[in-house]
A and B are shown apart, each in its own frame.
Chain A
Amino acid sequence: NAGVTQTPKFQVLKTGQSMTLQCAQDMNHEYMSWYRQDPGMGLRLIHYSVGAGITDQGEVPNGYNVSRSTTEDFPLRLLSAAPSQTSVYFCASSPGMGRSYNSPLHFGNGTRLTVT
C-alpha cells in the first residue's frame, strides 16, 4: 500500500491563480481531511469528508473547495490564490468515524505551497 499520496510536493502560484492539490489513499478509508500547517500555529482543519459524496467545513475553510466523488480521492481546490494561503498542506485519512478507534490518522507527506 502506498498510503496517502499527495501531489505536487511543491507549488508556486501567483496571486489570483487557481489550482488543485491532489490527495489519494489506497487503504479504503472512509474519512479524509485537509489540514494546513503554519509556523507557530500547529495544524488547522480546512475541510473533511466522512465518505464519498459527503464533505464539511473545518476551522479555516474560506478560499478552499473540496469534493469527494470516490472513496480514494479528496482534492483540495484553491479558487483564487492569496499570499495568506502560503502554507504546507497535509491530507490525512482514517477508516472512519466510530471505526477508527484503534487506527491512527494517516498523513501524506505534504504539499508546500507558495503564493506570490
Chain B
Amino acid sequence: AQSVTQLGSHVSVSEGALVLLRCNYSSSVPPYLFWYVQYPNQGLQLLLKYTSAATLVKGINGFEAEFKKSETSFHLTKPSAHMSDAAEYFCAVSPPRHGGSQGNLIFGKGTKLSVKP
C-alpha cells in the first residue's frame, strides 16, 4: 500500500529564510506526487505535481520540489520565505493505477509553516 510521511508537523522560519518541508513516500512503483497548500479556513490548492517528467518541479508562489527516487523523497523548498507563505502544506500521492489522476489522493498529515518577521 502506498503511504506518505511528512517529517515535522510544525516548521518555523524567519522571513527571507529558506523553506524546506519534507515528504517521503512508500510505493512499489513510481507514484505521482503532489504538494497542496491550505490557508486558514479554506480548502486545499495545488502547489505543484510530479508526474514522471522532470524530477525538479516548479510550482506557484516560488515553490519547487525535487523527486528523488533513491531517497523516496519529494521535499518542498522555497529560497526565501514570505509572511504570506504561512499555511499548512500537504504532500499527497496518487496510486499509479489511476494514471496520475488526482482522484483518491493519499495525503500526508500536513506540516504547518510559520513565518516570523
Chain A interface residues (CB < 8 Å from chain B): 4, 31, 33, 35, 40-45, 48, 50, 58, 90, 92, 94, 96-101, 103-105, 107-110
Contacts and interface: CB of A to CB of B under 8 A. Distances in A.
A97 B103 contact: yes
B83 interface: no
A53 B46 CA distance: 28
A48 B103 contact: yes
B109 A42 contact: yes
Contacts of B102: 94, 100, 103-105
Interface of B is mostly: loop
B109 A101 contact: no
Interface residues of B, number: 23
Contacts of A35: 107
B77 interface: no
B56 interface: no
Given A40-B9, A107-B45, 16 more contacts: A31-B101, A33-B103, A33-B104, A35-B107, A40-B110, A43-B105, A58-B104, A94-B102, A96-B101, A97-B99, A98-B101, A101-B100, A104-B45, A105-B46, A107-B44, A109-B43
Nearest to A95: B101
A109 B42 contact: yes
Given A107-B43, A110-B43, A43 B101 contact: no
Contacts of B90: 42-43
Can you list the 4 inter-chain pairs with the closest CB atoms, starting with the nearest?
Answer: A107-B43, A104-B46, A105-B102, A42-B107
B69 interface: no
Given A42-B90, A43-B90, A109-B42, A101 B104 contact: no
Given A40-B9, A42-B109, A100 B43 contact: no
Most B-side CB within 10 Å, residue of A4, A48, A105, A110: A105
Contacts of B84: none
B116 interface: no
Interface in B77-117: 90, 98-110
